[in-house]
Amino acid sequence: MREVVVAANWKMHTTPADAGDLARTIAARTREPGVTRVICPPYVCLEAVGVALADADPDVAVGAQNVHHELAGAYTGEVSAPMLVGLATWVIVGHSERRRDAGETDELIGRKLGRALDAGLRPILCVGEQLEEREAGRAADVVDGHLRGALEGRDPAATHAGGLVVAYEPVWAIGTGRNATGADAAAMADAIRTSLDALGWADVAGAIPVLYGGSVTSTNVDTFFAEPSIDGALVGGASLKPDEMAGIVARAGMTARARGLAG
Ligand code: 13P
């Protein structure tokens, strides 16, 4: 049975002074057996969050929101995978905000993913179409391109063993309050697994968790967890609110129990 994951992407929110307290509060409000919880704060808050969680609840993992595609060098302001070791055990790659603002290409994202895996960091690979692409009926094609661009040539078994998670995040649903329907998200999760099959990943495609992200809240999360092909959520705005995270992870716990993951 596939893992159930709720990952919090705090984006450019919190400071080293307040991140630890927020992580501690969320950890205390989200104890649900069988749910993998990950908090991804800004780089500068990784240490504070890690220290807080080691004390409050070591079952909550810490993730970074990005990683550089080189190991070291003259890259002012960047952070490499080896630098994250000890501070994080997960990392988001390919977020649409970085594709948009930093011009990240699929090829570059694939290199980041490789660096993450080499450093023992579990990658959350984000894929998702723009509104015009969806309206043109191209959503599955776009996501197929994102997956192919980042994963082609990579060993499926090793990548799965390294803990790859795919997050389907339609760009038009991010931060807009306009979430996808459960049925549309599930259709895209199925399309993602079809793309993985076509890439020669059939042996592991059914085992890789696919999360939905884009305006997830405690109110709409049920529509996603009601879909068997969806294995969790990548949460932005609502992940900064302990009440919201409590509701989202509680619903994830129901799925974990139904899947026999709760022990
Ligand atoms: P929102 O939940 O704020 O829409 O953000 C989703 C997201 O981008 C998570 O990575």
Instruction: Specify the DSSP class assigned to residue 90.
Output: E
- 3-state SS class at 38: strand
Helix axes 139-151, 182-196, angle to 10 degrees: 40
Dist CA 214 CA 52 (whole Å): 27
Among all residues, which ones are annotated catalytic?
95, 169
pLDDT tens, residue order, the chain (263 aa): 899 999 999 999 999 999 999 999 999 999 999 999 999 999 999 999 999 999 999 999 999 999 999 999 999 999 999 999 999 999 999 999 999 999 999 999 999 999 999 999 999 999 999 999 999 999 999 999 999 999 999 999 999 999 999 999 999 999 999 999 999 999 999 999 999 999 999 999 999 999 999 999 999 999 999 999 999 999 999 999 999 999 999 999 999 999 999 98
Contact present, 38 and 68 (Cβ < 8 Å): no
Q: Rounded to the nearest 10 degrees, how much is the dihedral formed by the CA atoms of 9, 13, 14, 20?
A: 0
Contact present, 62 and 53 (Cβ < 8 Å): yes
CB distance 9 to ligand 1 below 6 Å: yes
Closest CA to 186 of 168, 198, 174: 168
Going from the Cα of 73 to the center of ligand 1, the distance in angstroms, rounded, reads 31
Instruction: Specify the DSSP class assigned to residue 238.
Output: G
CB distance 240 to ligand 1 below 6 Å: no
CB distance 213 to ligand 1 below 6 Å: yes
Going from the Cα of 99 to the center of ligand 1, the distance in angstroms, rounded, reads 14
3-class SS shares of the chain: helix, strand, coil, % to 5:
50, 15, 35
